[in-house]
Amino acid sequence: MSRSYRFPADFVWGAATSAYQIEGSPLADGAGPSIWQRFAHTPGMMANGDTGDVACDHYHRYKDDVQLMRALGLKSYRFSLAWGRVLPEGTGRINQKGLDFYSRLVDELLENGIEPNATLFHWDLPAALDDRGGWLNRDSADWFAEYASVVFKALDGRVKLWSTINEPWVVTDGGYLHGVLAPGHRNKYEAPIAAHNIMRASGAGIQAYRAVGKHQIGVVFNIEPKYPASDNPKDLAATRRAQAYMNEQFADPALLGSYPPELKDIFEDAWPDFPSDDFSLTKQPVDFVGINYYTRSVVRHDRRAYPQIGKRVYQRNTTHTETSWEVYEKGLKDTLVWFKDRYGDVPIYVTENGAAFYDPPVAESDIVQDPLRIDYLRKHLRALHESIEAGVNVKGYYAWSLLDNLEWSLGFSKRFGLYHVDFATQKRTPKASAKFYANVIQTHGASLGD
């Protein structure tokens, strides 16, 4: 059977990165340190002692990196701004030099015909704000709105796509419940409070945008669909709780103005009664939602799980990425269809999708052969096309990531890039997946049928 994978002519083809993962020079030109700067410099927190001190040196090489985007034929580039470059103390004093970096980047993108898609917060909270309680402090919503307004005023004339927060689940699960990401807390009482305040902050950022912005703003969720390991009622209940915990805990307050009841069962006495007024702040009209999709999880009840959301069941006889994520492209379609059913017909961008696989060493002037990454991308792009055919309003797709970069506490050991980066020399080398993706873009997806 031959079928066509041609996407709409105005479909937005992109690639994504984030500030701390690629920029390097985190304290340059008057920037204030972030919680990731602190975390990375705390012994034992990062694989191989890696830090973001240099990373891809994008802070100095952004012009060359824009040329890599251009070679791919990207229509759009998704990046994040480091809050502490703009406001070194998190609030108050503006650091014009930090803002100027993003202004230059945006100009460079536009001169090369690439639409900037800017995320305000991709995890690098100013350390000065962590000292005031970080996301545990209810004032964080005001701090974020203040920062957002400064950035909007400087860049909204040129940036037409904005997001408030990237993946609030990862921030609160990794940063406050398990302690594997900055700020490194492991506390069941803190996690729901941080989650709630980060969604209040997102709402406050959207409100601030309505006061000064002229284009579009949304929020980005990582959605990992949950499937029960069996029909056993305990597995079904654990699956429901896992779905509530990872996906609905963040999308519900933003889009429905409520929390799913399972959260009380999961957090027990650690689940606070939030003021009902807060939901008018969290539920702000959005112009689009960003969805990051990597994998699914198959859930089995486990009474020792922390919190009470069951355990992931390893799937045999299927491909897993280097971060142990099952390759399951049907989950992307299931996610998009589920999202539309639950939250209505909001425009969607897939703001991240990609995979870390072992890449062979780079031979001189060669391209890096990465057939597994190509296979991953092809499968997911086909599933994306099927989602559009099924009626989901998907406006664009961003591959994660443009470059190999700092995979947070896993350091540089996991490579997600379309371009290989030699971190000793900063040499960028295209992988075969870059050629593959450029061809997809050039043919509007038609080459996915080959």
Q: Which residues are annotated as a binding site for substrate?
A: 21, 122, 166, 294, 400, 407-408
Give one word for 227, left, alpha or beta, with left for phi > 0 and alpha for psi -120 to 50: beta
Distance from C-alpha of 315 to C-alpha of 293, rounded to nearest angstrom: 18
285: buried, middle or exposed (CB in 10 Å: 19+, 13-18, 0-12)? Answer: exposed
* CA dihedral of residues 11, 15, 17, 22 (deg, nearest 10): -150
Give one word for 123, left, alpha or beta, with left for phi > 0 and alpha for psi -120 to 50: left
The answer to whether residue 352 is catalytic is yes
352 binds ligand PNW (CB under 6 A): yes
273-292 mask for ligand PNW (x: CB under 6 A)?
A: -------------------x
- Segment lying near ligand PNW (by CB under 6 A), choices 91-99, 162-170, 211-219, 230-238: 162-170
In DSSP terms, 12 is beta-bridged to 396
Contact 161, 286 (CB under 8 A): no
Looking at beta carbons only, is 95 or 351 nearer to ligand PNW? 351
Looking at beta carbons only, is 110 or 170 nearer to ligand PNW? 170
112-151 mask for ligand PNW (x: CB under 6 A)?
A: ----------------------------------------
291-320 mask for ligand PNW (x: CB under 6 A)?
A: -x-x--------------------------
Looking at beta carbons only, is 55 or 193 nearer to ligand PNW? 55
Site for ligand PNW in 169-188 (CB under 6 A): 170
The answer to whether residue 248 is catalytic is no
18 binds ligand PNW (CB under 6 A): yes
Residue number of the CB closest to ligand PNW reads 222
In DSSP terms, 350 is beta-bridged to 291, 397
386 binds ligand PNW (CB under 6 A): no
Looking at beta carbons only, is 167 or 190 nearer to ligand PNW? 167
Which tokens in the block code for residue 278? 């807060």
Which tokens in the block code for residue 128? 């000065």
Residue with tokens 């390759």: 327
- Of residues 167, 190, 262, 386, which has the active-site annotation? 167
Site for ligand PNW in 323-342 (CB under 6 A): none
Which tokens in the block code for residue 37? 């700067």
183-212 mask for ligand PNW (x: CB under 6 A)?
A: ------------------------------
* DSSP secondary structure string for all residues of 253-315: HHHTSS--THHHHHHGGG-----TTHHHHH----SEEEEE----EEEE--TT-SSSS-EEPPP
Shortest CB 166 distance to ligand PNW, Å:
5
Shortest CB 40 distance to ligand PNW, Å:
14
Cα radius of gyration rounded to whole Å, the chain? 21
| Positions marked catalytic | 167, 352
Note the residues at the interface with ligand PNW (CB under 6 A).
18, 21, 166-167, 170, 222, 224, 292, 294, 352, 400, 407, 416
